[in-house]
Amino acid sequence: MSFLKMAWRNVWRNTRRSLVTIAAASLALFVLIHYAGLVTGYIEGMERNLVEREMGDAQIHAAGFRDDPSLYERIEDPVALLAKLDQAGYAASARLLGGGLAAAGDTSAGVMFRGIDVERDGRVSTIGQHVAEGQWLDPADPKGVVIGRRLARTLNVKQGAEVVVLSQAADGSMANDVFIVRGVLKAVGEGVDRAGMYMIDATFRELMVVPDGAHQVIVRKPATVPLATAAAQLRALTPGLDTKSWRELSPTLASMFDSARGVMIFMFMIVYAAIGILLLNAMLMAVFERIREFGVLKALGAGPGAVFRMIFYETYIQVGIAILVGTALSVPGLWYLTQYGIDTGRMGGMTIHGVAWDPVWRASVSTSTYSGPIVTLIVIVSLAALYPAFKAAWVRPVQAMTHR
């Protein structure tokens, strides 16, 4: 009889113990596959919201603008820059930025004006799809503005309300005008929610007396180009300008996303350590119960390597069954989490580190969603089986056959 067949029979000699071990490993795998899918979905969702709604894959500014934002620090020829980026295969849109004061009734608040080209901005940002009340900007309505949700609450305004804005124009004159709230945004990000006011670029130029230039260019890379490669290519295309990827612009968020992946691995290790201890205990019990059998095997000529392999065969049989069961049970759960997710709408558009949290938390499934928990389980279980395997492999036949 081969050692593999013997291992299979040995696993079921104590059915209850084997089933408990398999059930525990299956449950741990089931939980951690779902956990991996949800954590990955969280990271990808937050990153997607940051990039698609507000920041882009990269941003280009005039040198020194980010250190000291000023209405006068502008990219001089944004049209030529956009044409160059289009030719290189990058989607890009120029934006105008300026600060001021908005008032409605007896209430006022500081605002950040954002002048955008509606058509081009739609190629790099999905913010136009996140209007909670009213409509997004329309070039046919130059006096219409779209504002952040918290700004709307501060000013106590809704769609159709009048808002007076005050600022200092680039020529030193007083910039003031009355605008109509065309729309109110959903949760986008801390800065936009609290002080964001979007208007078409022509209206911004007229209000702030900025006839040319742009303060910011938002860039989206092709999906097949890695972020670091895209950032390097963009720097080569924009000498003399300050070009940064979103990870460089928001190192705290980038570090948080990386840490979340590290925490996921740490959780794998903690849960599987408990499974490893359970398996270690079960295999040690099985070894001590069969010391005399190992002695007979050794006396019949079986070497330490053969006994060592048999213990590992028993371990991997149980783990293999656990992997099949845990993976099969996780498939419908992950399908549900990817299709429908978990409703977090009661959080009311929560932001985390300034980035909006989606009202529906969906899992993300890839090969690593399954391979990560499975490989970690195999590694931990292999380590846990080493001591029982060595214990059985190096038993002395004479002592083993007299063992009680």
Share of the chain above pLDDT 90, in %: 50
Closest CA to 392 of 262, 300, 301, 283: 283
The residue type of 95 is: R
Q: How far is CA 377 from CA 8, 241, 264, 320, 330, in A?
A: 20, 49, 14, 10, 15
Distance CA 363, CA 41 (A): 4
Rounded to an integer, the average pLDDT of 41-45 is 87
pLDDT grade, residue 399 (50/70/90)? Answer: low
pLDDT of residue 199: 97
The chain-wide mean pLDDT, for the chain, equals 87
Report, in angstroms and rounded to the nearest whole number, the Rg of the chain calculated over CA atoms: 31
pLDDT grade, residue 105 (50/70/90)? Answer: confident
Place of tokens 């944004």: 78
Distance CA 72, CA 69 (A): 9
pLDDT of residue 357: 72
> How many H helices and E strands in the chain?
14, 14
* Structure tokens, 340: 């429908």
Using one digit for the tens of pLDDT, what is the confidence trace for 292-326? 666 666 666 666 677 788 888 888 999 999 999 99
Poorest-pLDDT segment among 5-9, 237-241, 376-380: 5-9
∠ Cα 377 379 385 (to 5°): 100
Using one digit for the tens of pLDDT, what is the confidence trace for 156-196? 999 999 999 999 999 989 999 999 999 999 888 888 999 99
- First-last CA distance in the chain: 26
The two beta strands, 196-200 and 131-134, are unpaired
Q: What DSSP state is assigned to residue 75?
A: B
Using one digit for the tens of pLDDT, what is the confidence trace for 238-297? 999 999 999 999 888 888 888 887 888 888 888 888 888 877 777 777 776 666 666 666
pLDDT of residue 396: 65
Identify whether the C-beta of residue 369 lies closer than 8 Å to the C-beta of residue 36: yes
Distance CA 9, CA 292 (A): 17
Instruction: State yes or no: pLDDT of 45 exceeds 80.
Output: yes
Strand partners, 80: none
